[in-house]
Amino acid sequence: MIKVVDIVYHTHSGITNPLQVLDKHAPSLGFANYIREEIRIEFIIHMNYEGFKKINGNSYAFFRSRNRFWHIPLRTHRYIKNQNPNIVIVEGLGFPLQLIFLKWLLGKKCRVFVQHHGEKPFSGIKGFIQKIADYYINCYLFTSLKNATEWINKKIIKNPYKCREVLEASTHFKRMDRSKCQARLGITGNYNFLWVGRLNNNKDPITVLNAFRKFGLYHPNARLYMIFQEEDLLEAINEKIRQSVVLEDAVKLIGKVDHSDLVYWYSAVNFYISGSHKEGSGYALLEAMACGCIPVVTAIPSFEKITSVGKYGFLFPPGDDDALALQLENLKNLNIDSYRQKVESWFRESLSFKSIADSLGRVFNQV
């Protein structure tokens, strides 16, 4: 029996309900129900609550801590040592000092894995400590090995062969009846595109709007629905829409939507669109593909990995609205129903929680 402890150092200090925290971490911890029988896993989570719970057959230990770079959660570490794990998975690369202290406590026999969640390398003294932490890490898990490049170039990761590809998250979403979802949301037609994400420079909604304006000139029935939580560029977006008759008719700014309601949107539209310049994974993309939504997304490492380099979607260079407009034009010859089924099948086979659990099992045996 392989004993595994999965620890989230980040502290949700404002939350006292364990179920609320688990809901936040569901995309990255949902693989637990698919772990093989010879692996026993326990999750350690920090929040404003302490206790132990068994939920859906999985074990969770909750501790209080602080979100400070120099803070070492000693009670958490003593508890982990008492579990005598063979493997510890640290969620995120932003806690190198805590990892070093934990490894010292656990000794040489315990293997330490770290799962990348989109973090960037630190600079200065914190970056130096990340370099030290590398000596104590046996394996790095990245959605795409290309995401490890900047860590290797900065010499934080000295041995590239310690890096493995394991998806950081997935979803339980499943496609719902399309006609019912369209009736619920008031959507018609086949050329409906969905944006889900922040309105900021990294997500780059301006490039998407520029391309959609060109595409909409020849496809007046196309619609772009934009769901967003943060509104950094909302004023600029409204101004761009006002300047274009095409966009005024085509773009529907939906705003905030409860996460549980997103499944209706993914099921109602045929295409998911993103202009992201950098992502550790792509939660919204995964949710969309689980519902058979066809991706039209940027050719960044994580999206290339998730779409199998465009085999299950359409890719364009970040910031290139002409290339995006061309990809949108290419969709007119697509057998939409057949392609949706292909995307959904690919998700079940390679992007689901079960596939994550299988990948982890293989890496555990290798390392």
- Amino acid, res. 220: P
Does residue 146 fall inside a structural domain? yes
> Cβ distance 210 to 326 under 8 Å?
no
pLDDT for 111: 96
Q: Is the pLDDT of residue 29 over 80?
A: yes
Determine if residue 246 is left, alpha or beta; phi over 0 gives left, psi from -120 to 50 gives alpha, anything else beta: alpha
- What is the model's pTM? 0.93
| Domain enclosing residue 335, as ranges | 178-350
**8, 154: one domain:** yes
**140, 198: one domain:** no
**220, 304: one domain:** yes
Sheet arrangement for strand 58-63: 51-55, 58-63, 39-47, 2-12, 87-91, 111-115, 139-142, 163-165
Does residue 279 fall inside a structural domain? yes
Closest CA to 281 of 197, 341, 158: 197
**159, 188: one domain:** no
How far apart are alpha carbons 168 and 148 in whole angstroms? 13
Place of tokens 């990348």: 116
Does residue 22 fall inside a structural domain? yes
- Assign 3-class secondary structure to the chain: CEEEEEEEEEEECCCCCHHHHHHHHHHHHHHHHHCCCCEEEEEEEEECCCEEEEECCEEEEEECCCCCCCCCCHHHHHHHHHHCCCEEEEECCCCHHHHHHHHHHHCCCCEEEEECCCCCCCCHHHHHHHHHHHHHCCEEEECCHHHHHHHHHCCCCCCHHHEEECCCCCCCCCCCCHHHHHHHHCCCCCCEEEEECCCCCCCCHHHHHHHHHHHHHHCCCCEEEEECCCCCCHHHHHHHHHCCHHHHHHEEEEECCCHHHHHHHHHHCCEEECCCCCCCCCHHHHHHHHCCCEEEEECCHHHHHHCCCCCCCEEECCCCHHHHHHHHHHHHHCCHHHHHHHHHHHHHHHCCHHHHHHHHHHHHHHC
**200, 330: one domain:** yes
pLDDT for 57: 87
pLDDT in tens, 203-238: 999 999 999 999 999 999 999 999 998 889 999 999
pLDDT for 35: 87
Number of domains in the chain: 2
**330, 361: one domain:** no
pLDDT in tens, 148-168: 999 999 999 999 999 999 999
**324, 253: one domain:** yes
How far apart are alpha carbons 68 and 97 in whole angstroms? 10
Q: Is the pLDDT of residue 170 over 90?
A: yes
Q: Is the pLDDT of residue 365 over 90?
A: no
**332, 220: one domain:** yes
Structure tokens at 287: 């949710």
Does residue 125 fall inside a structural domain? yes
pLDDT in tens, 178-203: 999 999 999 998 899 999 999 999 99
Does residue 173 fall inside a structural domain? no
pLDDT tier for residue 1 given thresholds of 50, 70 and 90: confident
Instruction: Provide the CATH number for the domain around residue 320.
Output: 3.40.50.2000
Does residue 151 fall inside a structural domain? yes
Does residue 152 fall inside a structural domain? yes
Residues forming a β-bridge with 297: 315
How far apart are alpha carbons 328 and 211 in whole angstroms? 8
Does residue 262 fall inside a structural domain? yes
**259, 301: one domain:** yes
**302, 358: one domain:** no
**161, 232: one domain:** no
**220, 91: one domain:** no
Q: Dihedral through CA 317, CA 141, CA 23, CA 46, nearest 10?
A: -130
